[in-house]
Structure 1
Amino acid sequence: MAQKIKVNVMPNIVDKVVTYFDPVKGRQRLQARAQMALTGSYIGADKSRRSFRNWFTSGNSADDDLLPDLPTLREHSRDLMRNAPLAAGAVNTVVTNVVGTGLAMQARIDNQFLGLTDEEANQWQKNTEREYRLWCENRFECDATSTQNFYGMQDLVFRSALVNGDVVAVLPSRQLPGCAYGLKVQAVEGDRLATPPDLITSPNIFGGVEVDDFGATVALHIADRHPNALARVRGKVNFTRIVVRGEKSGRVNAIHLFRRTRPDQRRGEPYLAAVIEPLKQLDRYTEAEIMAAVISGMFTVFVEHAADEGAPAPIDGGSAPGSEPEIQLASGAIVDLEHGAKASIANPGRPNVAFDPFVMAVLRQIGVALELPFEVLIKHYTASYSAARAAMLEAWKFFKIRRMWLADNFCQPVYETWLAEAVATGRIAAPGFFADPAVRKAWCGAVWLGDGPGSIDPLKEANAVEKRIDIGLTTLAEEVAAFDGGDWETKHSQRTREHRMRREAGLLKLPSGIAAPPDPPSDNTDQ
C-alpha cells in the first residue's frame, strides 16, 4: 500500500490577503505551494523531523572540518593504540598485510622505448636491483637516523600515517663515511608539520602545508621538535621551510604521505577516526566486565553472631572486638562481623553470558568502517572454508589498494630519487636520463612486491593456480608474486640448479616403462 505524505503549508500574509478577497484563488495558492514543497524534497534534509533535531552538521571545507580536530584525533588514536587491544590489533593487521617484511623493488624498464634487447634490459635490471639493495638494506645508507633499513622505514611511515593521519618523509643528502650514497630518508611525525606563528594569517598555508594558486603543495613547514617536548627542551621553536621539489632540478626533497578523501584536503585523518568513540566505549565495557568477573570470583564468607552471644575469638581475616573492623574482598576470605551486624551478599552474575555476543555485534560495525571483515579483524575463522576465504579475499582488496598507495606515493618517489643519484655519480649507466622526461620515466619503471596472503587450503588453491595457468588466465610470474611476493626468474634458476643436481645424484624417479641406465664399470677388475 502506498503511503500518503501529508504536507502542511501555513498561509503567509499574501495568502491571507488573497483569500480574504478571493477564497478560490487563495485555496489555489495554498495547493500550488504544497505541491512545490512536496516536489524534490529529501526526508534526509528535513531538519524539522524529531530524529534530526539534535543532529548538528556543518558544511565547511575539508580543512575547516579536519584541522581544528586533528590534534585531538591524533591523541585519541595514539592512546587507543597504547591501551586498547582491539585498536592496536586492527592497525597491526593492516600494517602486517600491507607491508609485512617489506615491499621489494623489481626493475621493469621500457626496453623497447629505450632501444634495448631483452637480454640487455634483463642485465641492466639485475645490476640495478643489486645496486639498489646496497642502499636499501643498509641502515647507514638509507636512514637519516641510521636505525632501520628501507623495509623497516616502510613499516614506520605507513604505521605513522595510519595512526596519526599523515607523516612526512624528508629526503636530505648526507654522505657518511663508508657509504656509497648520500640520499637519506628521515621520517617526521605529523605533529611537527604546523604553521609557524608568524605565518598564521597566511592565506596559502594550511596546517603547515604551503600551496600555490592551483592548490598544489609547494613547501612544508617543519618544527625542529615535537610541540609537546617544550617542557624538556627550553627555547623557541624554530621552523624550517622545505621545498617539496627543487625549482630547477625537480628533485623530490620531501614526501607528505596521507590519504586524500576530499578535494582541497591538505592533511590526513587517522585510520581510526570514525571508530574512536565505539572503540573507547568497548574498551571501557571490557574493563568493567573483567573487574566484575574478578570481584565475583572473590567469594567471601561472613560469620554472623547473635547479640546475646559471647564475643568469640576473631577468625583469621576478621577484626578483634573493640577494634575498627577491616573488611575487604579477597580470594577465599572469611570475615568476622561485629555483634548484631548482618551481611547482604550481592550476586553480580559474572561472567556475563551476553558479553561475547554484544562485543561481536559491535566489532562487526567497526570492521565495516575499517574495511576489515569480522573474521580478519578478530583473527577468528569458525565458518566454512568458503566463508573464510571470502573474508580473506575481501580483506585483500583493501590491502592491495593500500599497498599500491604506499608504493606509488612513498617507495617509487624514493627509488627514483635514489636512481637519479646513482646515474649522476656514474654507478649506473642510463643514457638520456636527465635529458628527456620520457626517457627518465622509461628507466625508472619498477614494480613493488610484498608478502602474499597465504592460504587456507593449500591443495585447493594450488589446483586453482594450475588451472588458471593452463587456460591462460595468468602467468607463473604473476602467481609467484601473488603467492609470496617472490621473483619467478629467481625461483626458476634455483629450480633448474636443483633439478640438475638431483639428476646427477640419481635422485629423480624415471617414468614407468623406462629402464634405468646400467651402472658405470668399476675401476677394479678381477685379474
Structure 2
Amino acid sequence: MAQKIKINVQPNIVDKVVTYFDPVKGQRRIQARAQMALAGSYIGADKSRRSFRNWFTSGNSADDDLLPDLPTLREHSRDLMRNAPLATGAINTVVTNVVGTGLVMQSHIDSKYLGLTEDQAAEWQRQTEREFRLWAENRFECDATSTQNFYAQQELMFRSALVNGDVLSILPSRQLPGCAYALKVQVVEGDRLATPPDMVASTKVFGGVEVDDFGATVAVHVANRHPSALARVRGTISYDRIPVRGEQTGRINVIHLFKRLRPDQRRGEPYLAPVIEPLKQLDRYTEAEIMAAVISGMFTVFVEHSADDAAPVPIESSAPGSAPELQLASGAIIDLEQGAKVNTANPGRPNVAFDPFVMAVLRQIGVALELPFEVLIKHFTASYSAARAALLEAWKFFKNRRVWLADNFCQPVYETWLAEAVANGRIAAPGFFADPAVRKAWCGAVWLGDGPGSLDPLKEVNAAEKRIDIGITTLAEETAAYDGGDWEAKHVQRVKEHRLRSEAGLLKQPSGVPAPPDPPSDNTDD
C-alpha cells in the first residue's frame, strides 16, 4: 500500500484575502503552494521549465544504463579509432604516456618485517628482478599465444580497456618445452565476455560477470570465440565459466580490467564514450571541408558551342546506355554539347572560420578526455609556462592511469608469478604460503615507466638538484621521475665509469678549484 505524504501548507494573509473574495482562486493558490513545497527548491530539477522539456533522463542502475548500449559503444569507439585521426591520436597519446615502453617491476620488500638486513634484502631484490625479467622478456614464457612479451601485453591490455571499455586477462598454467615457468597471460577481448543464453534470467549474472550476494565477482563467462568471428572459425558458441580465484589456493585465474565509475558497475565503458558524437560530427565536417577545398582548387575549362558550330566530340559515358558524366579535374578541358550551359557554385574555400570552430570543439573534447588542448592536438604555441602547465595537468591524468594499470594488472600478475617461483624453489621466501602478512611483505614492488620528458632540461635539473639539497626528495625518486630508471643501477654504472676515466687520466679538474700541489721532489741538494 502506497504511503501518503502530508504537506502542511498554512494560508497566509494574501491567501485569506483572495479566498474571501474568490474561494476558487484562493484554493488554487494553496494547491500551487503545496505543489511547490512538494517539488523541492532546485531549479535543475524543475521539469516545468521550457529548457528542460525535451531533456529525457533515466534513473537506472549502472548496469541498466550501460549494458544495453555497450555493444554499440564498442563498435562506435573502434570505428573512430580506425578512421578518425583525432580519436586515434587521443588514444595513442594516452597509451604512449601511460605505458610507453612498458612498466618495469622494481622489488621493494618489507625487509624490517621479514627480519632481513639491508644487504640481504638488496640481494634478494636483485635476484627476484633478474628472475622476473627471465619470464617477462620472453614471449614464450609469458604469453599464451607466444606473440608478445609482458611489456607489450601491458600496452595491449591498456589499449583494449580504453577502446572497448574492458578486457580480460586469463592466467592459465601451460608448461612449454624450454620454459622455466608455466604461468601464461592470455588477453581476451571484452566482446567474448557475455551472459550465456540459458542464464539470461539469472539475477547473479550481468554482462557475463557472475557475482555473489555481496556483489563481488566470483566468476566470468567467456565465449569460445568472438561473436562476429570470420566464417572459417564460426561454429556453435559455447561458454566457459572461469572462477576469478581458486577455491582452495586463492590463486588468481582471471583479471577483469576496467575503470569503475559507479557502485555495482560490472562492465566498463569506452574511454571515448562521452565524446563519440562530437568526434564523429567533427570528422564529417572535416571531410566535407577537405572535399570543398579540393573542388575549389580544381581549374576546369568548359568549351561551349553555338548552333552553327560543328558537332563536338561526344563525351564518353561511364557505363553503356547511361547519360554522359562530367567530372571536375585539375587543368581539364571539357567540350560541351551544342546549347549546353554550365552553372557553377563557388564553394568559397578555404573556409576562414574552419580552424577557430574546430579548435573550440577540441577544447570541449579535451576537457572530457582529461587531456589539455595543447596535448590533445600536439601543438604548443603559448609561452613556456603555459605549455608546462598543460603538460603537468596531463601528467596528473597519465600518472593516475599508470597507477591504476599497475595495481589492477601488473601487480596481480607479478604476485601470481612470484608464488609459482617460490613453489618451484627458484626463489627462496620463507613463510610465503604460511602467513598472508609475510606474503605481502615479499610481494612489495613498484612499477616504473617512462618519464614525462622536459621542456627546459636545465631549469628542471636545477630544480631537482635544489629539491635534493633541501631534503624533500631523493636521488631514487628524481631518477624515477626523470626517465623511470633505477638509481642504484645508475650509481653502480657511474662508479664504474668514474674509476675507468680516472685510471685513463680523463677526469678534468672542476673550474674554480685550485689544482693540487705537486708532490715534493726526492732530489735534495747535498
When normalised by structure 1's length, the TM-score is: 0.90
CA distance in structure 1 between the aligned counterparts of 2:193 and 2:218, rounded to whole angstroms:
14
Write the letter of the residue equivalent to 2:52.
F
Change (3 A) 1:503 1:53: same
**Contact 1:192/1:224, CA 8 A, preserved across alignment:** yes
CA distance in structure 2 between the aligned counterparts of 1:61 and 1:114, rounded to whole angstroms:
46
- Cα deviation per residue 1:36-92 (whole Å; 9 max; x = unaligned)? 555542111111222111111100000000000000000000011111111011000
CA distance in structure 1 between the aligned counterparts of 2:265 and 2:188, rounded to whole angstroms:
20
- Cα deviation per residue 1:98-130 (whole Å; 9 max; x = unaligned)? 000000000000001001111110010000000
Q: Secondary structure at the match of 2:225?
A: coil
Structure 1 residue 251: Cα displacement: 0.3
Write the letter of the residue equivalent to 2:426.
R
CA distance in structure 1 between the aligned counterparts of 2:218 and 2:343, rounded to whole angstroms:
71
Root mean square deviation of aligned Cα? 2.5
Residue in 1 that maps onto 2:396: 397
Change (3 A) 1:326 1:241: closer
CA distance in structure 2 between the aligned counterparts of 1:316 and 1:59, rounded to whole angstroms:
63
Residue in 2 that maps onto 1:507: 506
Residue in 2 that maps onto 1:155: 155
- Cα deviation per residue 1:262-310 (whole Å; 9 max; x = unaligned)? 0000000000000011111111111111111111111211123333x43
Q: Secondary structure at the match of 1:242?
A: strand
Structure 1 residue 315: Cα displacement: 11
Residue in 1 that maps onto 2:406: 407
Q: Secondary structure at the match of 1:89?
A: helix
**Contact 1:315/1:335, CA 8 A, preserved across alignment:** no
**Contact 1:169/1:256, CA 8 A, preserved across alignment:** yes
CA distance in structure 2 between the aligned counterparts of 1:140 and 1:105, rounded to whole angstroms:
19
Residue in 1 that maps onto 2:269: 269
Write the letter of the residue equivalent to 1:295.
I
Structure 1 residue 234: Cα displacement: 3.9
CA distance in structure 2 between the aligned counterparts of 1:425 and 1:305, rounded to whole angstroms:
92
Q: Secondary structure at the match of 1:106?
A: strand
CA distance in structure 2 between the aligned counterparts of 1:392 and 1:399, rounded to whole angstroms:
10
**Contact 1:142/1:149, CA 8 A, preserved across alignment:** yes
Change (3 A) 1:517 1:316: farther
CA distance in structure 2 between the aligned counterparts of 1:461 and 1:45, rounded to whole angstroms:
49
- Cα deviation per residue 1:420-471 (whole Å; 9 max; x = unaligned)? 0000010000000000000000000000000000001111111111111111
CA distance in structure 2 between the aligned counterparts of 1:516 and 1:82, rounded to whole angstroms:
70
Residue in 2 that maps onto 1:289: 289
Write the letter of the residue equivalent to 2:515.
I
CA distance in structure 2 between the aligned counterparts of 1:71 and 1:104, rounded to whole angstroms:
34
Structure 1 stretch displaced more, 252-261 or 286-295: 286-295
Structure 1 residue 346: Cα displacement: 1.9
Residue in 2 that maps onto 1:111: 111
What does residue range 6-405 of structure 1 map to in structure 2 within 5 Å? 34-35=32-33, 37-38=35-36, 40-229=40-229, 231-307=231-307, 309-311=308-310, 326-405=325-404
- Cα deviation per residue 1:212-249 (whole Å; 9 max; x = unaligned)? 00000000000000011274334311111000011110
CA distance in structure 2 between the aligned counterparts of 1:21 and 1:345, rounded to whole angstroms:
72
Write the letter of the residue equivalent to 2:393.
E
Structure 1 residue 336: Cα displacement: 2.1
Structure 1 residue 412: Cα displacement: 0.2
Structure 1 stretch displaced more, 269-278 or 461-470: 461-470
Q: Secondary structure at the match of 2:174?
A: coil
Write the letter of the residue equivalent to 1:486.
G
Structure 1 residue 31: Cα displacement: 5.4
CA distance in structure 1 between the aligned counterparts of 2:267 and 2:41, rounded to whole angstroms:
35
Write the letter of the residue equivalent to 2:95.
V
Write the letter of the residue equivalent to 2:62.
A
Structure 1 stretch displaced more, 466-475 or 56-65: 466-475
Q: Secondary structure at the match of 1:56?
A: coil
**Contact 2:312/2:335, CA 8 A, preserved across alignment:** no
- Cα deviation per residue 1:287-341 (whole Å; 9 max; x = unaligned)? 111111111111211123333x4327659999xxxx9755321111112223333
Q: Secondary structure at the match of 1:448?
A: strand
Q: Secondary structure at the match of 1:304?
A: strand
Q: Secondary structure at the match of 1:227?
A: coil
When normalised by structure 2's length, the TM-score is: 0.90
- Cα deviation per residue 1:378-397 (whole Å; 9 max; x = unaligned)? 00111100000000000000
**Contact 1:137/1:149, CA 8 A, preserved across alignment:** yes
CA distance in structure 1 between the aligned counterparts of 2:128 and 2:324, rounded to whole angstroms:
80
What does residue range 478-517 of structure 1 map to in structure 2 within 5 Å? 478-511=477-510, 512-515=513-516
**Contact 2:78/2:163, CA 8 A, preserved across alignment:** yes
Change (3 A) 1:311 1:43: same
Which ranges in structure 2 are unaligned for 5 or more consecutive residues? 1-8, 10-15
Which ranges in structure 1 are unaligned for 5 or more consecutive residues? 1-10, 12-17, 522-527
CA distance in structure 1 between the aligned counterparts of 2:425 and 2:66, rounded to whole angstroms:
46
CA distance in structure 2 between the aligned counterparts of 1:336 and 1:62, rounded to whole angstroms:
65
How many percent of aligned residue pairs carry the same amino acid?
Answer: 77
Q: Secondary structure at the match of 2:237?
A: coil
Change (3 A) 1:516 1:454: farther
Write the letter of the residue equivalent to 1:340.
G
